[in-house]
Structure 1
Amino acid sequence: MIHKNAEEERLATEDNYKNWKRWGPYLAERQWGTVREDYSENGYAWSFVNHDKARSNAYRWGEEGIGGFCDSREILCLAPAFWNGKDPILKERLFGLTNDEGNHGEDVKELYFHQVSTPTHSYAKYLYKYPQKKFPYAELLKKNGERSREEAEFELLDTKAFTKNTYFDCFIEYAKEDVGDILMKVTVINRGAKTAKIHVLPHLWFRNFWKHNDRFERPQMKSISDASVQSRSTRNGRYYFYHEDGEQLFCENETNNKRIYNVPNEVDYVKDGINDHVVNGLDTVNPAKKGSKLAVWHKLSLKAGEEKVIRVRLSKKKLANPWGKFDTIFENRIKECEEFYGDILKKDLPADQQEIARKAFSGLLWTKQFYYYDVYKWLFGGPGEAKPHRNDSRNAKWQHLTNRHIISMPDKWEYPWYAAWDLAFHMASFVEIDPYFAKEQLLLVLKEGYMHPNGQIPAYEWNFSDVNPPVHSWAVWNVYEKDKKRKGKGDTKFLEKAYQKLLVNFTWWVNQKDTSGTNLFDGGFLGLDNIGVFDRNHMPQGIKRMQQADATSWMAMFTLNMFRMTIELAKANPIYEDSVAKFFKHFLNIAWAMHHIGQKEISLWDDEDNFYYDVVEMHNGSTDRLKVRSLVGIIPLFAVEIIHKDLFEELKHFKVRAAEIVRTRPDLASLVSNIEEFNVDGNYLFSIMRGFRLEKLLYRLLDEKEFLSDYGIRSLSKYHEEHPYVFKHNGHHQIQYESGESRSNMFGGNSNWRGPIWMPLNYMIIQSLRKYYSFYGKEYVYEFPTGSGIKLNLNEIANELSKRLIKLFQANGDGKFQYHSEDVNKVFTKDEHFKNEHFFYEFFDGDSGKGLGAAHQTGWTALVANLIMELEQHS
């Protein structure tokens, strides 16, 4: 029997959202500035509810907080707020710049760290660093507004807010006694050299669900003693909120219409009442001590280095002594958390790598979010609501979409909405710590309230119709295999449910993105922002269509994923054998199309450059390659699968069909590697690339003058630094290598694939190399780096690439982290209260390794934890 620790036992509980996952860190870190909350006529989401309005505006679709917890339907929310006595507002939410205000787009300007969490959030810890000086809101806005795209962002550490350690460390911790008993502890430490004051205000409030639904009554919280409050709602019954000391302050979670719109308020004591009372001394809290929003006001004075603890408890039970076992519960949950990660991260891993992986996994767990969005109600209003005034009917083709679930976010501040292909990569990491959640999430976006009736998977709320790369099948198979390996038995029920919906999505791709019926696909920008010489969603006039090397390769990979799933399902159910043959033939057709040269068409593979390129077809019928050396030409590497001959022996009907296909169309079979031969281990190789193409592609991929960086694989070849690619057709279109932030605003914001290193595609490159190694073995060696004379096999190359990526997160001999800038390193190296914290940046400079984009975006960058664990397995 496999040993299960306490956390694994909790994870195995059926219907966990009614059990141990009922409460978790499901609050957004930013609800303002989102499409969901945008009720402007012209769709200006960033300005309709901005940071200034956020404290006064009762949201329609969700809530936000700093290190907050809520239930899985976000009925009741719990989070702390802080005030240093100098700021003009309470620190209830994280501050940052909008897409128009930041010189590289949306940009959070706070210091916070998701320190640890178990998968059920039985224990969770978050660190927020709060300046003792006045928070530099205006300076951050002004300095970033003055900077161009060519300049670095002006960060909080660039101000004087943290000079001489004049800040508080605010540790926010949660422990569950059981599924309906949540303990919160806020530990505040003065890191400065002088005594400093701070106000700590644990908040409890109801999301405003009653205003938009006549079925629900307004819930209420009321004081039942000087140290306890009772909340009541028809949606979640009674809860008891216990606190030590502090003053109870009540108001309503209702919009301050007078402040925002200069019209009378509908109720007294509106949402910003607690803020106005604490900061400005106004009579804006309810003296009757009741409302739908509560804070307990603690005023602390801390000497240098002193720490003080605020304890609160939210329970379904009426407790005679809420504090008797409080500390013991925390101790037990912390011990169980350590045991859980100790079992996952083997002790022979270096301590620093264990810490990186633990922080990466914990960041994923902290960036779960309750996501609620009903497009039909958003467009037309719900029952009894007036129809919104909209000139911009964003997502009008997605009126079926009704999302109301806990979902893994790319980042809860900079990207507090799900993105389909981000989520797929998240699950490749989640399966290592919570396979239940990984499978649930992959099935979730395939449900009827998500997937379009035509089969498209929604991209993200700014435009659900955008096309993300079809990596969902890759994630499903990845999760299935890892879960099967761990448990010794595959979850075929999960696989079959996902497979049936993926069939619909596959058909959508074939029908919508192969408009010519030639097995060459397009898909627009496909998530690879700025990687092309022009915007592939808006091509220059005169181009009829584009045959995309990446879209076609993604589809080849999708086809192989479906092929492999079908084989697995056919083992138990022979009815799937016909589908095995279908995907086998489809894969051959795509491979043939990529390399076929007809009278008018040219191959996506260029024999002179030994690289894959996009091909454009003009209205006059001519075709031309766009010779940009980018990840677009590397993605064909991903279309690879290794299948043992024993699997085919079980599928007699397929063997006959496959032999017939190969016999009647040898021209198809000749393009794909060794599909009629197995190696000494009995494995067949299915790949777009025959051996010589793989060798040629590796020559460029592993060249330090092209794709290979000291810190991973660049997204654009460094060759284009000195040799920009120019395409002249109805204008001058040019692309040049840029190692860091893009100077192009082609997609706005902080979009950039013009050189930096992205963890998810690096991870897929490494996975693909390991698959090729399992077929070719040790005797096939390649130069690494190109021109060095050093020969390594493909597994060794995958290990070396992994080490370069992991190195981003490791301190060098000087104690500095590669992903930090020099200025940031001064703080993170010298200050002992910074040096053990990690950021998980969105992407990394292709030359220096500096972290860029969203700083806290654990998301797909959490794959560094996979690299650490898999490096240990393959070394």
Structure 2
Amino acid sequence: MTDGAEKVRLKQRADNKGWKKWGPYLAERQWGTVREDYSSNGDAWNFFTHDMARSRAYRWGEDGIGGISDNKGHICLAFAFWNHKDGILKERLFGLTNPESNHGEDVKELYYYVDSTPTHSYMKMLYKYPQQAFPYSKLLDENRRRNRTQPEYELMDTGIFDKDEYFDIEMEYAKADENDILIKLTAHNRSSKAAPLTMLPTIWFRNTWIWGYENYSVRPMLTGYSKSLIEVNHKILGKYKLYVEDADSLLFCENETNYERLYGSPNFSPYPKDGINDYVVSNGKKQTVNPNHIGTKAAAKYTRKIAAGGSFTLRLRFSNYSNHEPFADFEDVFAQRIKEADEFYDDLQKSVLDAELRRVQRQAYAGMLWSKQFYYYNVNEWLNGDPAMPKPAPERKFGRNRTWRHMYTANILSMPDKWEYPWFAAWDLAFHCVPLARLDPDFAKRQLAVVLREYYMHPNGQIPAYEWTFSDVNPPVHAWATWKVYEIDKEMNGGVGDIGFLERVFHKLLLNFTWWVNIKDEQGNNIFGGGFLGMDNIGVFDRSAQLPLGGHLEQADGTGWMAMYTLNMLRIACEISLERRAYQDMASKFFEHFLHIAGAMKSLGREEISLWDEDDQFYYDLLHIPNGPSMLLKLRSMVGLIPLFAVEVIDPDMLEKLPDFKRRVEWVLTNRPDLASLISRWYEPGKGETRLLSIIRGHRMKMILKRMFDESEFLSDFGVRSLSKYYETNPYEFRVGNEVLRVAYTPAESTGAMFGGNSNWRGPVWFPMNFLIVDSLLKFHQYYGDDFEIEYPTNSGQMVTIREAALSVAGRLIRIFVPDETTGLRPYQRQYDKFNTDPNFRNHLQFFEYFNGNDGSGLGASHQTGWTGLIAELIDYSYTLQRARVKEDVS
């Protein structure tokens, strides 16, 4: 079978050039980010606000609605709208800052990523724009009024969609060639009345010329001709043309700050960044656009009164060559690219038989691809300030990210959410790469490699966490993700693995592993801390801050993650050793390191103390208090489930192919029986003569699974909760002097202020952790086979194989997005009937950050397709497991 056109394009280049040079790399929020914060106190949200964004030039990026840019963000195209009621153009998505909302930052718009191919040869996004005045003040005032025990006040709650007085605006792109992009916007009036709409497809340059750097001193130029052409001239990218069909007019201004509006000082230009906004909203009364049709920002203006139930389509073409009939082949190219996109996904989804699951999976993939962003941040320049700008306050040199001056990022990265989290997060990114590997293995591999490069990773070996605090510690999941991406790529490449990729990443992971050992094993006893480790408020107190009683924590999750890390590195080293035999020494090193961590988790080298509590049959964090007793923090949370992740199955054929490694393993197990006894059934062959490496023995595994699969504790109808439901009626309490710290099961948004109160690990279901649970269970089944059964759910009397339990957990997660057979509701959007019953809403999906532990409703960031995009891989898992089970039953 020959490859389809999209697969051929993917194979042409493995970087962000060629067919990938242009894509959805424009952020959805640049204001309120650390990069744009030049305050003395690090108050990013208030230093650069949404109200300032239309008037102030950005330093490190750009933002827009449904936009694209080149791979370095020099030239940007996006859309702006005006409903003839708002006081400002809708140039960027609106949302509340962390201090403004009762549950942290939150976008207050309705938009959906509908489709995209990996090379962005075809893309589609949908934005729902109200016809009445957008309720900016109402959203702000009501959310400020609410407290943390109340739900967020959303755009749908304002009633602005109740009468269907809105436009569905579809933004589509189709590439005729690498640098020839066809652009289509279709506005549908969903109202029963005709309504006016002004549409402004906008092109502009990222401002690189005012900061005082000689290599960017040449100002780029946009030049308009009649109402049909904008010439684009950029020193680095060269010349392009934006062809415009049937526009009312072309409007030009400069992408430069309106100092007069913001600071009461003179402007450099009479046509500043918000010139088009002021001109349109004042109906041409303000002379804030350049009559000479030149500038660094331009828009084609279309004002139409769209009939009730009617629509209007505008077309543009952005190209680096001249075309006397730019729209002659327009519809043919669009039709061809849509056909190719369908062919690509038909092949990718050929094993997924259910039409509804195919819809969920394809939109999840669309979200993964639309969430790419050009991320630019030179920390040294940011701290020092720019030559042509006022010197930053001296306090900045002692503030945020001051120890990361080496860091210089200018890459296309997968974002957690391009509005709420428009910056890379290290452990999020690792999970993103798993579904991305199905779409574009080369891109997934590059994502994992880039954060380990010398201009990201700290010289001491730490991986940067996220821009708010690069020095925070995320769970070490990159080795796991590297192996998963390798396996998927190998599967899709006919069984041929990319050993070069493994070897390249392995060397950098060695540096990071050493950092963990040197820094996070505080007592040198193979028990690890790390702080909050990405799970924000899961503990009774902030585990990253000074502990309330002093002392230090030895963490079940930190140690479990490191045990998992050693096994991931062991597996990678074994794979590389099949071609490069010297790596057997590294396999031996990680085997022995795993044994030492396993021993430490049992007794910490002191028989009277262990992270495992025999009474509760569960793992807990251990708090060491200065001049006081050590105590287990007996809070049953995801922290105690993480040791499950430290599991690996070694095939005997591999051992035979690695004689040096095999010999060392046998020597250690013979001469260190104290360590050998800790390893689950190394000597006993399992299914297919495999060998199991796991911290958790059969009994402990059964006890943890008993808790995890108990519906009165961790297991919900929609996956595994992050905290036991037991604490709903029996809150956990910890006394610090006269103060009692309390943790209760909270299935939805956080009710406390820890970590800004904008995420919650005290009850909700999180996809990344659930995915690791499913992945780990499948490894256990690989060893134990069908003869080993567990009760699932706990107390049900139903005995199943571990694989069947994994399949059920995956099914519960998938259920979040699928209409219920009885009610027709998709659980994640159960809050609003309109989302489930209105034909213009019900099949457009959002992928939330986390989900209510009781009813599965979506919470947190509404477009965090990043790690919730794992739903796409779970759907594949589900079908693969079912096929395997049927095949075994038949045989």
TM-score, normalised to structure 2's length?
0.97
Q: Render the CA deviation track for 1:189-241: whole Å, top value 9, x for unaligned.
A: 10000010000000000000112222120000111343111111111110001
Equivalent residues of 1:40, 1:390 under 8 A apart:
no
Deviation (angstroms), 1:600: 7.8
- Secondary structure of 2:840 counterpart: coil
Equivalent residues of 2:750, 2:757 under 8 A apart:
no
Corresponding residue number in structure 1 for 2:729: 722
Larger displacement relative to structure 2 (170-179 or 807-816): 807-816
Alpha-carbon separation, structure 1, partners of 2:365 and 2:772: 19
Equivalent residues of 1:37, 1:61 under 8 A apart:
yes
Aligned-pair identity in percent equals 52
Corresponding residue number in structure 1 for 2:419: 413
Corresponding residue number in structure 1 for 2:748: 740
Corresponding residue number in structure 2 for 1:662: 669
Deviation (angstroms), 1:385: 4.9
Corresponding residue number in structure 1 for 2:468: 462
Corresponding residue number in structure 2 for 1:638: 645
Equivalent residues of 1:39, 1:390 under 8 A apart:
no
Corresponding residue number in structure 2 for 1:101: 100
Deviation (angstroms), 1:621: 5.4
Of 856, 863, 866, which residue of structure 1 is paired with 2:863? Answer: 856
Deviation (angstroms), 1:537: 1.5
Corresponding residue number in structure 2 for 1:567: 574
Larger displacement relative to structure 2 (188-197 or 264-273): 264-273
Alpha-carbon separation, structure 2, partners of 1:195 and 1:811: 33
Of 339, 345, 357, which residue of structure 1 is paired with 2:343? Answer: 339
Aligned residues: 872
1:114 lines up with 2:113 in the alignment = yes
Corresponding residue number in structure 1 for 2:162: 163
Corresponding residue number in structure 1 for 2:237: 236
Equivalent AA in structure 1 for residue 258 of structure 2: N
Of 368, 373, 382, which residue of structure 1 is paired with 2:372? Answer: 368
1:285 lines up with 2:289 in the alignment = yes
Deviation (angstroms), 1:599: 4.7
Corresponding residue number in structure 1 for 2:175: 176
Alpha-carbon separation, structure 2, partners of 1:810 and 1:430: 22
Equivalent AA in structure 1 for residue 768 of structure 2: P
Equivalent residues of 2:15, 2:443 under 8 A apart:
no
Q: Aligned runs of 1:23-422 on 2, under 5 Å? A: 23-212=22-211, 213-216=213-216, 217-246=218-247, 247-280=249-282, 281-346=285-350, 348-382=352-386, 385-392=389-396, 393-422=399-428
Q: Aligned runs of 1:531-570 on 2, under 5 Å? A: 531-570=538-577
- Secondary structure of 2:66 counterpart: coil
TM-score, normalised to structure 1's length?
0.98
Alpha-carbon separation, structure 1, partners of 2:303 and 2:712: 59
Corresponding residue number in structure 2 for 1:799: 807
Corresponding residue number in structure 2 for 1:485: 491
Corresponding residue number in structure 2 for 1:750: 758
Alpha-carbon separation, structure 1, partners of 2:540 and 2:548: 14
Change over 3 Å in CA distance of 1:549–1:485 after alignment to 2 = same
Corresponding residue number in structure 2 for 1:765: 773
Equivalent residues of 1:840, 1:857 under 8 A apart:
yes
Deviation (angstroms), 1:622: 2.6
Alpha-carbon separation, structure 2, partners of 1:10 and 1:538: 49
Equivalent residues of 2:166, 2:191 under 8 A apart:
yes
Q: Aligned runs of 1:469-868 on 2, under 5 Å? A: 469-487=475-493, 488-596=495-603, 598-599=605-606, 602-620=609-627, 622-730=629-737, 731-812=739-820, 813-822=822-831, 824=832, 826-868=833-875
Equivalent AA in structure 2 for residue 787 of structure 1: N
Equivalent AA in structure 2 for residue 222 of structure 1: T
Equivalent residues of 1:783, 1:792 under 8 A apart:
yes
- Secondary structure of 1:78 counterpart: strand
Alpha-carbon separation, structure 2, partners of 1:583 and 1:321: 63
Equivalent AA in structure 2 for residue 818 of structure 1: P
Alpha-carbon separation, structure 2, partners of 1:626 and 1:106: 31
Change over 3 Å in CA distance of 1:343–1:15 after alignment to 2 = closer
Equivalent residues of 1:10, 1:20 under 8 A apart:
yes
Alpha-carbon separation, structure 1, partners of 2:61 and 2:109: 21
Q: Render the CA deviation track for 1:291-330: whole Å, top value 9, x for unaligned.
A: 0000011011111111110101110011110000001000
Q: Render the CA deviation track for 1:538-593: whole Å, top value 9, x for unaligned.
A: 24343321110000000000000000111111111121111111101000000000
Alpha-carbon separation, structure 2, partners of 1:754 and 1:539: 21
Change over 3 Å in CA distance of 1:402–1:598 after alignment to 2 = closer
Q: Render the CA deviation track for 1:252-301: whole Å, top value 9, x for unaligned.
A: 00000111111111222010000000002300000000000000110111
Alpha-carbon separation, structure 2, partners of 1:806 and 1:816: 13
Equivalent AA in structure 1 for residue 775 of structure 2: Q
Q: Render the CA deviation track for 1:767-825: whole Å, top value 9, x for unaligned.
A: 10011001000111111110000111011001111111111101112221111243x1x
- Secondary structure of 2:474 counterpart: coil
Equivalent residues of 2:687, 2:784 under 8 A apart:
no
Larger displacement relative to structure 2 (686-695 or 663-672): 663-672
Equivalent AA in structure 2 for residue 765 of structure 1: I
Q: Render the CA deviation track for 1:24-55: whole Å, top value 9, x for unaligned.
A: 00000000000000111211100111111000
Change over 3 Å in CA distance of 1:226–1:680 after alignment to 2 = closer
Change over 3 Å in CA distance of 1:348–1:414 after alignment to 2 = closer
- Secondary structure of 1:762 counterpart: helix
Q: Render the CA deviation track for 1:478-534: whole Å, top value 9, x for unaligned.
A: 101111122111101100000000000000000000021100000010011111111
Unaligned runs of 5+ in 1: none
Larger displacement relative to structure 2 (155-164 or 313-322): 155-164
Alpha-carbon separation, structure 1, partners of 2:5 and 2:153: 45
Alpha-carbon separation, structure 2, partners of 1:305 and 1:322: 30
Larger displacement relative to structure 2 (23-32 or 37-46): 37-46
Equivalent residues of 2:847, 2:865 under 8 A apart:
yes
Equivalent AA in structure 2 for residue 456 of structure 1: Q
Deviation (angstroms), 1:17: 2.1
Alpha-carbon separation, structure 2, partners of 1:543 and 1:43: 27
Equivalent residues of 1:600, 1:621 under 8 A apart:
no
RMSD: 1.2
Alpha-carbon separation, structure 2, partners of 1:214 and 1:348: 55
Alpha-carbon separation, structure 2, partners of 1:505 and 1:128: 42
Equivalent AA in structure 2 for residue 148 of structure 1: N
Alpha-carbon separation, structure 1, partners of 2:20 and 2:506: 27
Deviation (angstroms), 1:597: 5.7
Equivalent residues of 1:42, 1:390 under 8 A apart:
no
Q: Render the CA deviation track for 1:367-402: whole Å, top value 9, x for unaligned.
A: 100000000000002455543225242100000000
Change over 3 Å in CA distance of 1:390–1:322 after alignment to 2 = farther
Alpha-carbon separation, structure 1, partners of 2:582 and 2:805: 41
Equivalent AA in structure 1 for residue 376 of structure 2: Y
Larger displacement relative to structure 2 (110-119 or 40-49): 40-49
